[in-house]
Structure 1
Amino acid sequence: MLSSQRIGLTVAQVCEEMTVVLTPPLALEGGLAAEHRAPNLLQRILSLFRNIRPGSDLTNLQLPPLFNMPKSQLQLYGEMIYCINEDYLSRCAEGSSSIERFTAVVAWSLSMTRPAIFGVAPYNPVLGETHHVSRGNLNVLLEQVSHHPPVTALHATDEKNDIELIWCQHPVPKFYGTAVEAAIYGKKQLKLLKFGENYEMDSPKLLIRILPIPGVEWVGNVRIQCKESGLEADICYHKTHSFLGFGGNSRSVKGKIYSKSETIFEINGHWDGTVALKDVHTGQSQIIYYAKEAIGKLATPSVKDPKGLRASESTIVWGKVSRAILDKDWEKAREEKRSIEERERMLKRERNSNGEVWVPKHFNLTHSKECGWECSPIERTVPEAPIIVPCPKENKELLIQ
């Protein structure tokens, strides 16, 4: 068997010429969407899909750097958790009753919805690529545990609040003539350990419309359930249409919280604005999520301990490509990206010729027709990371000093 430690760069090579690039997260205001404004890509996108048949699976499609944002998919998954202003995750463990904790979980799940950028996509992570970041007491670790098909595992722990996250993400993008729809399969678990509660949830789909009006939307249904309390929630991400289907708001959410088919609360609002919870018995409403405070003007991660960075860290694996994209040196970006892809193909040929089976370093990986891909972390907790995200309180303290 072959360990995931053998990935592209060696530790010695990393130390000699380490290029670390951390870019702003996708945020409601500012962030990467404001700083990384790609050229007008519509014509290029149309030419890219010209020879692709509708219904085709785009999982293995290799994009030129012009279509890439300077960030790996692992980083995007991680940012959903560690890049946030209001700590909605810790609130999940603060509720005094199961219904209070469940509504907090619903609010936290909404906070993971981030604006996407039309026309650009993150890098497809290489096999064994990792991303390790800490924010306060929360330590987050991701690993690319499969490349074909792409499967990402995530483990996060907050020992102070007795919180654990275990995810297994398997995106499947398909082309439908005038749009690309990316479904994200896999189990997402939030465990509130001191209450013995396990919350399972799925993800909305990302719809990239090419024609008639280019745009990106989150669509589809999300279910959240806690078997221990018997509570469930259904949330629908949808678009409210205006005249002839044009215009309207594409960031609406609507749903309910219920137990044994009896509705307790109705959910209504916009994931980029506010989301309210209405008690169906009393008619009283309360705001449970405010996007501007949660995901507006998010802080960019920074390297606290360069020596602690792994050779497999996303920011190192793709550092030179990201630097070239930010400099708009497209020839250099193509060269660096081609080098990474060729190195991965070479390593795969070596494994095949030696009869070696690649094994993830941080997760056990299983697959079945009934359950799909499932991941379980090898270690009980995630250690502190060399990359950190300052909490809003820490930012204020730095300004005062």
Structure 2
Amino acid sequence: MTTQQIVLTRSETKGSPMRITELVKVLSTIKGDLANITAPPSFLAPSSVVENPRCWAERPAVFAAPALESSPQKRSLLVLRMFLIGLRNQYYIAGGPNVSIKKPLNAFLGELFFAKYTDKAGIASTEVAAEQVSHHPPITAIHVASREHGIRAEGYSRVEMTFSGSLNVRQTGHAVLHIDKYDEDHLLPLPTAQVRGFLSTCLYPELWGTYKIVSSSGYISEITFSGAGFLRGKKNYFEARIFHKDDDREKPLYVASGSWSKGWEVKDGVTGKIIKQYDVEAEENDPEPMQIADVKDQDPWESRRAWNDVIQGVRGSDWMTVSRAKHIVEEGQRQMRRDEKASGVSWQPFLFESIPGEEHSVFHRLAEGINWHLSASETKGVWRLKDGALDGLQTPFRGALTPIG
């Protein structure tokens, strides 16, 4: 899930060598964290990073499926499936593996995103709410839920980017998926990524490392991302195994492998028989249409309205409009920070609140014994939705105050 990620658009199948060189020059001159650095306009995607959490909500039937399964081990398999399916749109927004990826707009402090999805088969609907709760460092908090099925995910991510020949994207944070019917929690990771392909002029993401999805039922999904190296490997490759924490991990119940951006298969861990295949490109796996309010009806703090001129400029390759419209928003935000400093008033998030890391009992219970640290000091605590925050929302959310002052 994510949050601030590199994304792509359908408008280009290959990156221009000159533009790639331009980007490399920009990245090479900057030391330290690049997360809040603005990319050249031609490398921007027509969406903000605050939209990224919709990758889990776009297929309501997939998101709600664990709540409809009575077997705890099969629920863990369905949670793994949801996690894997979300990766494609999380890292390849509005495109595919043969399209050079682009960078989303840096979300401004207080930026909001709301959307709903309805499954055409009538199985489920989902809603997503996200807020940029910090700008320095950049932290996005998210809430995704299928209310009718009693399943929801809440999480947050701080993103750090560095450049060393490839663009390294490190996420600090996690998400917790809760299923009311079984009072069951699943702790989900946020993988580290590298943006590669600078020499080929077609940039693409690779995930690296080994991560675990941990369930309060005792089942663990262990996922190893390897991807394509310089001499071997397959692009976006992963292997995953599901086992109970009290059993031998070398004798998993299920094994999944393949490309998270193209397709994979699930095998019975005992018999080796293929029990499920997933093709990302299959028509039945297309995301459902996003339901959001018309831009003119949105609150000034909602992402699509706040960045409307920028988004239209990116879509039309009107880079002067992009630069001018971005400057208006960004300068408005700088002035708000100066005003807050002068008045001694600190910014307060609208939907989410931060709690001390030691109070996050679900995380500590599930992460015990698997070498997973909370790092709350790096994320300004643990972020969660305020009680009743989504009930009866009325605009304007912040009175006369808008993102440009």
TM-score (norm: length of structure 2) = 0.78
Question: In the alignment, which of 371, 394, 397 is matched to residue 376 of structure 2?
Answer: 371
1:122 aligns with 2:109: no
Question: In the alignment, which of 319, 322, 328 is matched to residue 339 of structure 1?
Answer: 328
Question: In the alignment, which of 40, 57, 73 is matched to residue 64 of structure 1?
Answer: 40
Structure 2: where are the runs of 5+ without partners?
93-98, 119-124, 358-373, 395-405
2:68 aligned residue: 94
What residue identity is the alignment partner of 2:10?
Answer: A
Question: In the alignment, which of 185, 190, 193 is matched to residue 198 of structure 1?
Answer: 185
1:131 aligned residue: 113
Q: Please give the alpha-carbon distance, in whole angstroms, between the structure 1 residues aligned to 2:295 and 2:391.
A: 16
What residue identity is the alignment partner of 1:232?
Answer: I
1:188 aligned residue: 175
Q: Please give the alpha-carbon distance, in whole angstroms, between the structure 1 residues aligned to 2:61 and 2:104.
A: 26
Aligned residues with identical type, % of pairs: 21
Structure 1: where are the runs of 5+ without partners?
1-25, 387-401
Q: Please give the alpha-carbon distance, in whole angstroms, between the structure 1 residues aligned to 2:144 and 2:85.
A: 16
1:42 aligned residue: 20
Label 1:218 to 1:382 Cα distance change in 2 as closer, same or farther (>3 A).
farther
Question: What SS class does the counterpart of residue 112 from structure 1 fall into?
Answer: helix
Contact (CA 8 Å) 1:66, 1:330: kept in 2 or not? yes
4+ aligned runs moved over 6 Å, structure 1: none
Q: Please give the alpha-carbon distance, in whole angstroms, between the structure 1 residues aligned to 2:14 and 2:321.
A: 17
How far apart are 1:308 and its partner, in Å?
A: 5.1
What residue identity is the alignment partner of 2:387?
Answer: E
What residue identity is the alignment partner of 1:97?
Answer: S
1:249 aligned residue: 234
Q: Please give the alpha-carbon distance, in whole angstroms, between the structure 1 residues aligned to 2:109 and 2:329.
A: 11
What residue identity is the alignment partner of 2:140?
Answer: T
**Higher RCO, Cα 8 Å, sep 6+:** 1
Contact (CA 8 Å) 2:159, 2:172: kept in 1 or not? yes
Deviations 1:43-79 (A, max 9, x none): 11122123235xx32123122322211110011232x
What residue identity is the alignment partner of 2:226?
Answer: H
Deviations 1:315-341 (A, max 9, x none): 011100111122221111111111111
Alignment of 1:303-314 (within 5 A): 303-304=292-293, 309-314=298-303
Question: In the alignment, which of 344, 349, 352 is matched to residue 338 of structure 2?
Answer: 349
Q: Please give the alpha-carbon distance, in whole angstroms, between the structure 1 residues aligned to 2:71 and 2:356.
A: 36
Contact (CA 8 Å) 2:139, 2:158: kept in 1 or not? yes
- Alignment size in residue pairs: 348
1:19 aligned residue: none
How far apart are 1:385 and its partner, in Å?
A: 9.6
Question: In the alignment, which of 217, 222, 227 is matched to residue 239 of structure 1?
Answer: 227
Q: Please give the alpha-carbon distance, in whole angstroms, between the structure 2 residues aligned to 1:151 and 1:82.
A: 20
Q: Please give the alpha-carbon distance, in whole angstroms, between the structure 2 residues aligned to 1:238 and 1:351.
A: 45
1:390 aligned residue: none
Q: Please give the alpha-carbon distance, in whole angstroms, between the structure 1 residues aligned to 2:79 and 2:38.
A: 36
Label 1:199 to 1:384 Cα distance change in 2 as closer, same or farther (>3 A).
farther
Label 1:322 to 1:151 Cα distance change in 2 as closer, same or farther (>3 A).
same
Question: In the alignment, which of 45, 49, 52 is matched to residue 76 of structure 1?
Answer: 52
How far apart are 1:195 and its partner, in Å?
A: 0.6
Contact (CA 8 Å) 1:142, 1:155: kept in 2 or not? yes
Q: Please give the alpha-carbon distance, in whole angstroms, between the structure 2 residues aligned to 1:295 and 1:338.
A: 41
Label 1:151 to 1:255 Cα distance change in 2 as closer, same or farther (>3 A).
same
Label 1:255 to 1:297 Cα distance change in 2 as closer, same or farther (>3 A).
closer
Q: Please give the alpha-carbon distance, in whole angstroms, between the structure 2 residues aligned to 1:211 and 1:36.
A: 15
1:271 aligns with 2:260: yes
Question: What SS class does the counterpart of residue 113 from structure 1 fall into?
Answer: helix
Contact (CA 8 Å) 1:139, 1:384: kept in 2 or not? no
Label 1:235 to 1:385 Cα distance change in 2 as closer, same or farther (>3 A).
farther
Contact (CA 8 Å) 1:158, 1:164: kept in 2 or not? yes
What residue identity is the alignment partner of 1:175?
Answer: F
Label 1:333 to 1:304 Cα distance change in 2 as closer, same or farther (>3 A).
closer
Contact (CA 8 Å) 1:254, 1:269: kept in 2 or not? yes
1:286 aligned residue: 275
1:144 aligns with 2:132: yes
